[in-house]
Amino acid sequence: MEMYSDFRLTHPHTNATHDTSLRRRPTLRAPEPAWRRVTCETTEKARQRFSAYLDALQARPRQDVGGIGYHAYPQAMKVNIVTRAAPRFDAIVKLEELSPGLERVGALAGTPPVVVPPPTKTEAHSNDRLACARFGIGAELTRRLCKLYAVDFECFGYELPEVCRR
């Protein structure tokens, strides 16, 4: 039997509540983003696809980059961004510290410990064998990533790659 944690967060001063859950929710299907239509038959095309993906993430106003794009959007910014298609986040934790991070959030919220559901087969995977993942990122795209994820580097204490410190 799988167990999931449902919990209610209550603001200490206003007593306003917010119910939240770790249950997997169905997502709405948006039209396919333009960057997904770029093929990866060569290293250069794979690099172009990734560049188009970054363009979509950095666009103002923000383009619809699809569910995967929202998933990859800078995590620290999700606390302050509310969209129609995605839930609002009250807290974030580092993936590499998921269980202890959720324990801290639960303790702050005064809730029982959170039980993290195990990943499904589609969630526990690697993309390193995909043609679109083999393009040699290079200095220019690395700098673009550093700019896009600057808030995550800062908030989570990650060290910037060398090429971004120059």
pLDDT digits (tens, 9 = 90+) for 32-77: 777 888 888 888 999 999 898 888 887 755 655 555 566 677 777 7
What's the per-residue H, E or C state across the chain? CCCCCEEEEECCCCCCEEEEECCCCCCCCCCCCHHHHCCCCCHHHHHHHHHHHHHHHHCCCCCCCHHHHHHHCCHHHHHCCCCCCCCCCCCCCCHHHHHHHHHHHHHHHCCCCCCCCCCCCCCCCCCCCCHHHCCCCHHHHHHHHHHHCHHHHHHHCCCCCHHHCC
Looking at the domain assignment, is residue 22 inside a domain? no
Looking at the domain assignment, is residue 5 inside a domain? no
Looking at the domain assignment, is residue 10 inside a domain? no
Domain that holds residue 102: 38-115+129-164
Considering only residues 19 and 53, tell me which one the structure prediction assigns the higher pLDDT: 53
Q: How many domains does the chain have?
A: 1
pTM value is 0.63
Looking at the domain assignment, is residue 26 inside a domain? no
Looking at the domain assignment, is residue 152 inside a domain? yes
When pLDDT is cut at 50, 70 and 90, the band that residue 141 belongs to is: very high
Looking at the domain assignment, is residue 29 inside a domain? no
Looking at the domain assignment, is residue 53 inside a domain? yes
When pLDDT is cut at 50, 70 and 90, the band that residue 4 belongs to is: very low
